[in-house]
């Protein structure tokens, strides 16, 4: 699949999930048919008085009579508190003005919503309000007839402008309609009656559905979908504006007390919980999309292993989140990017966050390393497993995926741990660290464009992190002499600074995010140094242990580790000196062994090899001859003597030794494979090993029988077709070699090895045009994954 198409699908997936969440959020809302406006029975809080004071003064200066403070029921039936507002009327009692403190949303609202309202004898009404209604929002629900309802949305207009516009429309309407004169009680009754009529109209059009007739209702499904289609892009736009540093459209900055009160209400508000049914639907739905996207890349066995490892990884995060009391724990799968677990907890500690990050990769790394130790096979050299079995795939997937996630690169799990432990006390360093993560993924994205999606997602958080860091720096300077001891005091200090430039023009939603970020930083900074040290040690041990486990899975043979250790000890030394010292050491060791056992063929072989390195060819040849005399079935001794004879220009002797070496080595491979197949006759790797060995010693009948048996066990394995094809090619059976190469390409259409092999077959057939064409295709597919199993 084209990589840029993958990136498009990633962005699409990121956009689709919020759409469904928006649908769910809208669907669960239960609204009141009528919002009752009740005269306040208690004194309003000071922040309410302060917020509404300028509104009261302006309206009184325009001649409106103050009727008092009111509590207004929230539209959401499940809301605990009411909104505060004030009510005015003019001398004629034909115009009422309501002012209310709005709820906090991600979209901009003025600090006080103002609505001028008048009613007509024919049942209609007209309102002028200081909200700007997006035409898209107006299209969500059908509108009542203009002669019944006429609402002027004038955006962030001043109170005098609103009053003037309302007078203009009243003058126009009064020519043909009678304006009602209402006392305050009649006004409230009229407001409630009109609201009930409008809800009944929407129910009759199927846009709304009753929950409890005449009392509460919900959105209909068509309206839910239409609303989500419109609201989701608007919310994304607002989020991007917040991250980019967009400012509020307010002409008046909300009061300090109002912002503190609204923020405290946010912190105390009980979030709506995701139902278990919805959590399962999100997990299974995104998993299904994920598997469909990857179906073309994996065999069904590979798909099950990959998804299983992802589930196990994210399951670790989920269990840790539940253990530490997080809410709304949900697992999501995002095509091409993997999976993630989401949850909420406002007061999570540094220790909890670190353990949650480690709970994903650590279990998988431990199990993967355990499998490597349990199933390694030193007979297979660099690969620790006897064949390309499901255990092999599972082990390397467990180690590879989880070790990658432990790397200290943001936003990987290890990167988040490093950010928490090293940079939470210095937010500017945290911003730099995240920026380095963006740069790293951009560099990788130049070769693998899919990583640009990672870079984009990280980059979204950088501007916000910078604003948090800047405010945190300012607060640290203010707290040097008198640091706050209680959380309410800290919140007040935060919002006092948010009232200052450049933050004063930010929308409240953006201020709220910054304030929560500061609270998180302060909570993380409070962790003791020994807590940070202990968690850092756990992370470093996990990372190093995972790397060692990964290396062990690749190099299970202890000799390979000893060789690597020896190689590292040679770094910086002169090559000739190293050869001299190493060879002399091996000669001395061989001499000690021969003193103890003069018939030790292996010691003669080792000493011969050391003399060869020192270019003492006569002594090397003498020791090789003695090794062969003592152990005439040692293929390595013949290979060694053949090498010595080549340096002595003894071509015939070299060829004779090499031929014996091939025969002995092939026979050992045959014996080993036959032994393994007695215990596991389904292991195709040993059929291939034995088949190649039989072909090497010229036993074509048995070689072909082993290749055919491997294909019988795995008829969809392209690698086996290539092995048998090579056998046919070596035996000049070009038609069968071509048939096998065609079948391999059919099974693996992007295999560079298969195209290269067919190119060689075409050369032997004399068709150079097709040979060149296949060679070019092989080169173009070289960077792709070569032949792999497509059937378990």
Other Cβ atoms less than 10 A from the Cβ of 378: the count is 12
Count the alpha carbons within 13 Å of 389 in the hemisphere toward its beta carbon.
16
The number of angstroms, rounded, from the C-alpha of 290 to the middle of its chain's C-alpha atoms is: 13
DSSP SS3 for 522? helix
Q: Is pLDDT above 70 for 593?
A: yes
Give the pLDDT of residue 644.
92
pLDDT digits (tens, 9 = 90+) for 689-721: 999 999 988 899 999 999 999 999 999 899 999
Q: What percent of the chain has pLDDT over 90?
A: 32
Nearest CA to 107 out of 204, 235, 214 is that of 235
Give the pLDDT of residue 521.
77
Domains belonging to the chain, first-starting first, are 29-228 (no CATH), 714-792 (1.25.40.10)
Most trustworthy range by pLDDT among 281-290, 318-327, 550-559, 711-720: 711-720
Distance CA 463, CA 454 (A): 16
pLDDT digits (tens, 9 = 90+) for 466-491: 877 788 778 777 776 677 778 888 88
Question: Distance between the two ends of the chain, CA-based, in angstroms?
Answer: 23
Q: For the chain, what is the mean pLDDT? A: 81
Least confident interval from 204-218, 230-244, 414-428: 230-244
Using the structure block, give the residue that is written with the tokens 């917020």: 51
Q: Is pLDDT above 70 for 564?
A: no
Average pLDDT over residues 497-512: 78
Region label for 74, one of left (φ > 0), alpha (ψ between -120 and 50) or beta (otherwise): beta
Residue 259's contacts (CB-CB under 8 Å, 6 or more residues apart) are 495, 498, 499, 508, 511
Give the pLDDT of residue 295.
63
Average pLDDT over residues 583-596: 91
722: confidence class by pLDDT, cuts 50, 70, 90:
very high
Other Cβ atoms less than 10 A from the Cβ of 489: the count is 12
Give the pLDDT of residue 385.
43
């Amino acid at each position: 699949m084209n990589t840029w198409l993958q990136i498009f699908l990633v962005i699409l997936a990121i956009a689709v999930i919020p759409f469904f969440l928006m649908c769910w959020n809208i669907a669960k809302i239960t609204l009141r048919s009528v919002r009752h406006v009740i005269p306040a029975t208690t004194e309003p809080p000071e922040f309410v008085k302060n917020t509404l004071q300028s509104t009261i003064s302006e309206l009184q200066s325009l001649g409106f009579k103050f009727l008092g403070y009111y509590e207004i029921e929230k539209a959401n039936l499940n809301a605990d508190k009411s909104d505060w507002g004030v009510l005015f009327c003019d001398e004629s009692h034909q115009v009422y003005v309501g002012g209310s403190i709005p709820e906090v949303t991600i979209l901009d609202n003025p600090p006080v919503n103002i609505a001028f309202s008048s009613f007509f004898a024919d049942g209609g009404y007209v309102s002028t309000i200081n909200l700007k209604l997006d035409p898209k929002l107006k299209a969500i629900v059908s509108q009542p007839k203009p002669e019944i309802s006429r609402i002027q949305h004038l955006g962030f207009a001043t109170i005098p402008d609103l009053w003037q516009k309302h007078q203009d429309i009243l003058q126009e309407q009064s020519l043909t309609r009678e304006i009602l004169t209402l006392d305050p009680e009649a006004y409230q009754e009229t407001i409630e009656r009109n609201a009930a009529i409008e809800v009944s109209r929407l129910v009759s059009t199927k846009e709304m559905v009753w929950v409890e007739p005449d009392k509460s209702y919900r959105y209909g499904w068509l309206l839910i979908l239409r609303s989500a289609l419109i609201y989701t892009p608007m919310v994304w736009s607002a989020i991007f504006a917040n991250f980019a540093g967009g400012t509020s459209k307010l002409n008046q900055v909300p009061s300090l007390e109002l912002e503190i009160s609204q923020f405290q209400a946010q912190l105390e508000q009980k979030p709506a919980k995701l139902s278990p049914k919805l959590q399962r639907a999100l997990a299974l739905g995104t998993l299904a999309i994920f598997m469909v996207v990857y179906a073309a890349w994996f065999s069904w066995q590979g798909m099950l292993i990959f998804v299983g490892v992802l589930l196990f990884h994210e399951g670790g995060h989920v269990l840790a989140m539940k253990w530490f009391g997080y809410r709304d724990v949900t697992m999501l799968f995002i095509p091409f990017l993997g999976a993630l677990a989401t949850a909420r907890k406002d007061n999570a500690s540094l220790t909890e966050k670190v353990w949650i990050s480690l709970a994903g990769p650590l279990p998988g790394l431990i199990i993967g390393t355990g499998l490597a130790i349990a199933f390694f096979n030193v007979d297979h050299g660099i690969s620790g497993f006897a064949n390309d079995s499901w255990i092999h795939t599972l082990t390397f997937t467990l180690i590879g995926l989880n070790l990658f996630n432990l790397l200290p690169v943001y936003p990987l799990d290890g990167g988040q741990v490093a950010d928490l432990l090293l940079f939470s006390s210095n937010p500017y360093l945290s911003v730099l660290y995240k920026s380095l993560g963006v740069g790293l993924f951009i560099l990788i994205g130049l070769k693998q464009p899919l990583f640009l999606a990672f870079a984009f997602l990280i980059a979204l958080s950088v501007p916000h992190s910078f604003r948090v860091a800047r405010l945190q720096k300012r607060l640290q300077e203010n707290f040097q002499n008198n640091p706050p001891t209680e959380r309410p005091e800290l919140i007040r200090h935060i919002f006092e600074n948010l009232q200052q430039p450049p933050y004063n023009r930010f929308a409240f939603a953006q201020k709220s995010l910054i304030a929560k970020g500061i609270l998180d930083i302060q909570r993380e900074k409070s962790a003791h140094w020994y807590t940070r040290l202990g968690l850092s040690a756990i992370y470093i041990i996990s990372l190093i242990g995972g790397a060692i486990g990964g290396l062990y899975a690749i190099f299970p043979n202890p000799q390979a580790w000893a060789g690597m250790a020896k190689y590292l000890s040679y770094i910086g030394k002169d090559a000739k000196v190293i050869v001299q010292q190493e060879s002399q050491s091996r000669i001395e060791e061989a001499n000690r062994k021969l003193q103890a056992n003069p018939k030790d063929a292996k010691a003669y072989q080792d000493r011969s090899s050391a003399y060869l390195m020192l270019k003492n060819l006569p002594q090397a040849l003498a020791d090789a001859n003695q090794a062969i005399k003592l152990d005439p079935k040692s293929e390595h001794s013949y290979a060694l003597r053949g090498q010595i004879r080549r340096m002595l220009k003894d071509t015939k002797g070299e060829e004779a030794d090499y031929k014996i070496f091939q025969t002995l080595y092939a026979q050992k491979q045959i014996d080993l494979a036959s032994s393994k197949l007695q215990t596991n006759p389904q292991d195709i790797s040993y059929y291939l090993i034995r088949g190649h060995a039989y072909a090497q010693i010229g036993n074509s009948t048995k070689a072909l029988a082993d290749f055919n048996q491997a294909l019988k066990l795995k008829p969809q394995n392209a690698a086996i077709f290539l092995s048998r094809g090579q056998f046919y090619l070596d035996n000049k059976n070009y038609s069968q070699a071509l048939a096998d190469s065609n079948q391999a390409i059919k099974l693996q259409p992007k295999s560079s090895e298969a195209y290269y092999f067919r190119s060689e077959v075409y050369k032997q057939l004399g068709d150079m045009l097709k040979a060149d064409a296949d060679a070019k295709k092989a080169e173009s597919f070289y960077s792709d994954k070569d032949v792999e199993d497509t059937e378990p």
